[in-house]
Amino acid sequence: MRICLAADTLPGSHKAWSGAEQLCWRLSQMLRKEGHSVTFITTKSWGGKPSQEIYQVPTCLNKISAVLVNLPLDLPALLYSILAHKKLRPDIVHLHTHTLFLPVAMASIILKIPLVLTVVGYWFVCPNTILKSPNGQICTTFHGIQCAKCISLPKLRRLPFFNKIFSYSRSMAFDYVLRKLDAIIVLSKTSKARLEQYGLPSSKIHVIYHYQLDTQIGEPKAPASSFQRPTILFVGAIHENKGLHILIQAMSYIVREVPDAELMVVGSGYDKYEAKIVDMVENLELKENILFLGKRKNEEVLQLMTRSDVIVVPEQVPVMDFGPMVLVEAMGLAKPIVASKVGAVSEFIQEGVSGFCVTPDQPQQFADKVVWILRHKEEARVMGENARKSAEFLYNNEPIKEIINLYHSVIALKKRKGGIS
């Protein structure tokens, strides 16, 4: 089977990527191991070069402004996506993308190629991507003309009528593609329920935990040598949604109880927010307790996880239904975890047994749980083991076979309906 995976960036080809792209890359490795041909459609990169396996699509609108990704369609990107499909000739296209979602999906629809989406964000039903209302609550109206109050094109802020047209046309375009999808893969039951609430048919939505954890993750191991100092690890984009500012505020409480505690931060970010973080560290006098490591390869991140005392996942997005990767990897490595109680996190962590879930914007709660873990080494070790055992379904359920079977059923159904040219 010839499978084309679409992702905005790729490890080794782009300077930055997230858990969604890592998910896509690992899926490609598993598919190839099963004997299938895998190619990629991705955005233009500064580092990697196009190859027979990787077709790069320019995204003109996104270069002007990230907000313009929300426009109904980037026509040059659509043209390049059609050319990519004709060159790669896939039997099926599998999306893990935001920026390229509309052009690649529309190209697949035009050429009548079966289309599957793995949901790693809610951009297709929310222009702000996070289903968060201006008041901070979860948005249950999804996208439409009402989105004009949440997002606006800079030059149209004084033209509310056009802003409403933009919001409405965007929802129409994305809804058209959603109706044409042959199958949707979600990474949690919470995510499936949310899409059913939106109105997508349950028969199209498949819960497949295709996190594709390294097979060595989850195997019991001898304890790794810890760092000399009690170590807290944060892994993720340095972005407000990831909640690093909450964790840094928590550190001001933690060091009062554990003065030599150290927070290691792995990830890169955005200028304004990074500047805010730097100022916060200085103002709270935490320079001696926080170490910024920048972007690291996944192998290095796993080693850091193994040696750390506690992994903290302070997500601030009220809808976090996709893991995240750092959470499930930490569980597989038998590490105690303190995470925000948002989205599907409670599906993965059993409170007080395999980790702690706390209120997202409460630094004191994060601090209390982290201090407890640092002071109760044996109980924390047992908690980590419980996390590993509860995560066994993530690396023992052979999701690749479920995905391949889904591909076959989608292709067969499309052929019966005469949808494949």
Prediction pTM value: 0.86
Q: What integer is the mean pLDDT of 205-217?
A: 74
What pLDDT digit, counting tens, does each position of 137-195 carry?
Answer: 788 888 888 777 776 555 555 566 667 777 788 888 899 999 999 999 999 999 999 99
Structural domains in the chain plus CATH codes: 2-209+397-416 (3.40.50.2000), 231-395 (3.40.50.2000)
User: Does residue 68 register a pLDDT over 70?
Assistant: no
User: Does residue 343 register a pLDDT over 60?
Assistant: yes
**pLDDT grade for 369, boundaries at 50, 70 and 90:** very high
Residue type, 172: M
Supply the pLDDT for residue 47.
Answer: 56
Supply the pLDDT for residue 147.
Answer: 78
Residue of 47, 37, 41 whose CA lies nearest to 59: 41
Reply yes or no: is the peptide bond before residue 399 cis, omega within 30 of 0: no
Long-range contacts of the stretch 49-54 (C-beta < 8 A, 24+): 54/10, 54/13
User: Does residue 204 register a pLDDT over 60?
Assistant: yes
CB count, 10 Å around CB of 150?
Answer: 15
Supply the pLDDT for residue 98.
Answer: 86
The mean of the pLDDT values for the chain is 86
User: Does residue 339 register a pLDDT over 70?
Assistant: yes
CA distance linking residue 224 with residue 51, whole number of Å: 40
CB count, 10 Å around CB of 257?
Answer: 14
What pLDDT digit, counting tens, does each position of 4-44 carry?
Answer: 999 988 876 776 667 778 888 889 988 999 999 999 999 88
Supply the pLDDT for residue 123.
Answer: 84
Say if residues 355 and 326 touch (Cβ distance below 8 Å). Answer: no
What pLDDT digit, counting tens, does each position of 283-309 carry?
Answer: 999 999 999 999 888 889 999 999 999
CA distance linking residue 192 with residue 275, whole number of Å: 37
CA distance linking residue 291 with residue 233, whole number of Å: 10
Supply the pLDDT for residue 137.
Answer: 77
User: Does residue 340 register a pLDDT over 60?
Assistant: yes
Helix, strand, coil tally for the chain in percent (to 5)? 45, 15, 40
Say if residues 121 and 19 touch (Cβ distance below 8 Å). Answer: no
CA distance linking residue 37 with residue 259, whole number of Å: 53
Supply the pLDDT for residue 72.
Answer: 57
CA 84 to chain CA centroid, nearest Å: 25
Return the structure tokens found at 390.
Answer: 């509860």
User: Does residue 249 register a pLDDT over 80?
Assistant: yes
CA distance linking residue 50 with residue 40, whole number of Å: 10
